[in-house]
């Protein structure tokens, strides 16, 4: 999907979803959520991979 097709109003809610995915992945890995570093987000990269990056 083209980034221009998303409205600016959708960005905060999408970021909230990414943050929640990372929190859940860290919780599942028994790691504190603040230990994760967000390095990249794409539809093909699961949150667990982002949390481990």
pLDDT in tens, 9-51: 676 777 788 888 888 888 888 888 777 776 656 667 666 555 5
Helix-strand-coil split of the chain, %, nearest 5: 60, 0, 40
Whole domain around residue 42: which residue ranges?
A: 10-52
Tell me the pTM: 0.50
Which residue is associated with the tokens 């929190």? Answer: 23
Cα separation, 38 vs 51, in Å, equals: 7
Looking at per-residue confidence, does 20 or 3 come out higher? Answer: 20
Q: How many domains does the chain have?
A: 1
Inside any domain, residue 31: yes
Cα separation, 48 vs 53, in Å, equals: 9
Q: Is residue 3's pLDDT more than 60?
A: no
Inside any domain, residue 4: no
Give me the pLDDT at residue 29, please.
Answer: 83
Give me the pLDDT at residue 19, please.
Answer: 83
Looking at per-residue confidence, does 5 or 1 come out higher? Answer: 5
For residue 4, what are the contacts with CB-CB under 8 A and spacing of at least 6?
Answer: none
Inside any domain, residue 2: no
Inside any domain, residue 5: no
């Amino acid at each position: 999907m083209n980034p221009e097709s998303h409205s600016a109003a959708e960005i905060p809610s999408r970021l909230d979803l990414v943050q929640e995915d990372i929190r859940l992945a860290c919780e599942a890995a028994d790691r504190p959520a603040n230990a994760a570093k967000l390095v990249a987000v794409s539809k093909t990269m699961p949150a667990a991979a982002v949390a481990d990056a």
